[in-house]
């Protein structure tokens, strides 16, 4: 009995320590996270495929960090056979290799999508020589379009950062936050409050309405908004709720005021963290959250008829393999041979005017070139 108690307390202590050190991990033991069992599912709408022109006025780029085919299929099974993603009739594959590595990280992967250059792992908006490279968000802004970034991670984390910041290293969070304030971005919503407010240099967020409460963020319809809903990263779905959906709707409301159009990047940040943790549950719940955000973007685009939607990933995470499941019951079992990123191609899904350009096998940098040609004509 005493031994059992000792073991139990040791187990509890270990669990708590792991949780405190790294919030990407789960407090539950890994085995409990291998099988996802759905408790509910949502219905998926079919949107019309009719658009006003050949070229888009707006682009919404949705990046599922670490989202390979298995992550998509885990979500599809978890939702009992369907995803909003299925509205995308044009599908391609993206080769994700970085300039210095067969396996990219999110900084080089993000910079390839944001600026169209292959760079070294860890680089945020700079090339292999450390020179700043202009991003599609910055070019859109210079051309009078509205711009926005939305993520569940800290907004200063590698993926969103690579669209707006220029730093030699992804870990320079305060410098990345300072880069946000050098630009003309209209709306950014995510975590990362500490990187803006607890700064050593005491810089403030001039010109932005800063809101930390989702209920207040939701009410902002115009002007410039910095929505910072967590000190660093937002929690898992159980904790953050529909934060990403609300943030997406808010960003679309604000950006749609600009008659010249807009560029918006939305990241489902934590699909990647589920892969790193080897957790089927984490991957599936974040994939379902991301797909419902895709649904909101599609709803906007279907009504607007001048918006191009691209959904892709920066890389795959975990080498996720679906090893069992039940489509009717929404059960998914998976195995993860690695806790790291993998080299495989990732899917590219698109909907709207210009979507037909994003088919076949392409480099991740080609996605940027195609978006730039369609949105800015260069």
Catalytic residues: 106
Using CB distances below 5 to 8 A depending on partner kind, what does residue 94 bind out of Zn ion, Mg ion, none? Answer: none
The alpha-carbon radius of gyration of the chain (Å, integer) is: 20
Binding status of residue 312 toward Mg ion by CB under 5 A: no
What is d(CA 334, CA 317) in angstroms, rounded to the nearest whole number?
A: 13
> No. of H helices and E strands in the chain?
13, 15
In angstroms, what is the minimal distance from the CB of 24 to Zn ion? 9
Q: What distance, in Å, lies between the first and last C-alpha atoms of the chain?
A: 73
CA nearest to 170, candidates 181, 182, 161, 179: 161
Using CB under 5 A as the binding rule, whether residue 286 contacts Mg ion is answered as no
- Determine the angle formed by the axes of helices 280-304 and 69-78, rounding to 10 degrees: 90
Pattern 264-283, Mg ion, x by CB under 5 A: -----x--------------
DSSP helix, strand, coil percent of the chain (3-state; round to 5): 40, 20, 40
**Which of Mg ion, Zn ion, none sits in contact with 87, Cβ below 5 to 8 A by type?**
none
Binding segment for Mg ion (CB under 5 A), chosen from 71-79, 117-125, 158-166, 294-302, is 158-166
253 sits in which H/E element: helix 243-255
Taking CB atoms, the residue at the shortest distance from Zn ion is: 272
Q: What is the DSSP string of 315-343?
A: -EETT-EEEEEETTTTEEEEE-S-SSEE-
Specify the residue, 227 or 352, whose C-beta has the smaller distance to Mg ion.
227
Residue 149 main-chain phi, psi, to 5 deg: -135, 135
Is residue 93 within a helix (H) or strand (E), and if so which, with residue range? strand 90-95
Q: Pick one of Mg ion, Zn ion, none as the site partner of residue 38 (Cβ within 5 to 8 A by kind).
A: none
Output the smallest distance, CB 290 to Zn ion, in A: 15
User: Hey, what are 59's tokens?
Assistant: 């682009």
* Residue 233 CB, nearest approach to Mg ion (Å): 10
Q: How far is the CB of 269 from Mg ion (least distance, A)?
A: 5
Site for Mg ion in 58-117 (CB under 5 A): 65, 106
**167 is a site residue for Mg ion (CB under 5 A):** no
By the rule CB under 5 A, 234 interacts with Mg ion: no
Query: Residue 159's binding partner, choosing from Mg ion, Zn ion, none, with beta-carbon cut-off 5 to 8 A by kind?
Result: Mg ion
Residue nearest to Mg ion (CB): 159
> CB 66 → Zn ion: shortest distance, Å?
6
Q: Which of 159, 167, 280, 364 binds Mg ion (CB under 5 A)?
A: 159
Number of residues near Zn ion (by CB under 5 A): 1
Distance CA 153, CA 281 (A): 18
Minimal distance, residue 274 CB to Zn ion, in Å = 10
**Token digits of residue 281:** 């549950």
Q: How many amino acids of this chain bind Mg ion (CB under 5 A)?
A: 4
* d(C-alpha 228, C-alpha 251), whole Å: 13
Q: List all residues 6 or more positions away from 146 whose beta carbon is below 8 Å from its beta carbon.
A: 140, 186, 187, 254, 255, 257, 258, 260, 261, 262, 263
Verify binding: residue 272, Zn ion, rule CB under 5 A: yes
Which residues bind to Mg ion, rule: CB under 5 A?
65, 106, 159, 269
Residues near Zn ion (CB under 5 A): 272
């Amino acid at each position: 009995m005493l031994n059992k108690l000792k073991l139990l307390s040791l187990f509890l202590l270990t669990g708590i320590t792991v949780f405190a050190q790294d919030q990407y991990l789960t407090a539950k033991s890994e085995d409990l996270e291998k099988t996802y069992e759905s408790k509910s599912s949502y219905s998926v709408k079919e949107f019309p495929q009719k658009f006003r022109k050949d070229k888009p006025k707006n682009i919404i780029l949705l990046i599922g960090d670490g989202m390979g085919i298995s992550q998509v299929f885990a979500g599809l099974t978890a939702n009992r056979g369907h995803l909003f993603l299925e509205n995308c009739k044009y599908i391609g594959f993206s080769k994700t290799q970085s300039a210095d590595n067969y396996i990219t990280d999110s900084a080089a992967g993000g910079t390839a999508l944001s600026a169209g250059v292959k760079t070294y792992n860890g680089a945020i908006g700079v090339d292999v020589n450390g020179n700043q490279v202009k991003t599609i968000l910055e070019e859109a802004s210079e051309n009078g379009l509205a711009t926005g970034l939305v993520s569940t991670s800290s907004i200063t984390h590698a993926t969103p950062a690579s669209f707006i910041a220029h730093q030699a290293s992804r870990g320079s969070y305060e410098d990345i936050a300072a880069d946000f304030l050098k630009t003309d971005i209209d709306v950014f919503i995510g975590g990362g409050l500490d990187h803006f407010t607890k700064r050593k240099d005491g810089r403030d967020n001039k010109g932005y309405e800063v809101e930390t409460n989702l209920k207040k963020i939701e009410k902002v319809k115009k002007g410039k908004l910095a929505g910072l809903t967590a000190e660093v990263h937002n929690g898992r779905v159980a904790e953050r709720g529909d934060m990403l959906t609300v943030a997406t709707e808010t960003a679309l409301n604000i950006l749609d005021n600009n008659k010249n159009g807009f560029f918006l990047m939305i990241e489902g940040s934590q699909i990647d963290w589920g892969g790193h943790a080897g957790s089927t549950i984490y991957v599936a719940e974040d994939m379902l959250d991301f797909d419902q955000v895709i649904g909101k973007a599609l709803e906007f685009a279907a009504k607007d008829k001048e918006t191009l939607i691209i959904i892709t990933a920066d890389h795959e995470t975990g080498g996720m393999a679906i090893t069992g499941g039940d489509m009717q019951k929404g059960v998914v079992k998976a195995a993860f041979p690695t806790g790291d990123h993998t080299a495989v191609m990732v899917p590219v899904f698109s909907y709207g005017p210009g979507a037909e350009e994003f088919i076949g096998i392409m480099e991740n940098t080609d996605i940027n070139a195609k978006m730039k040609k369609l949105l800015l004509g260069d």
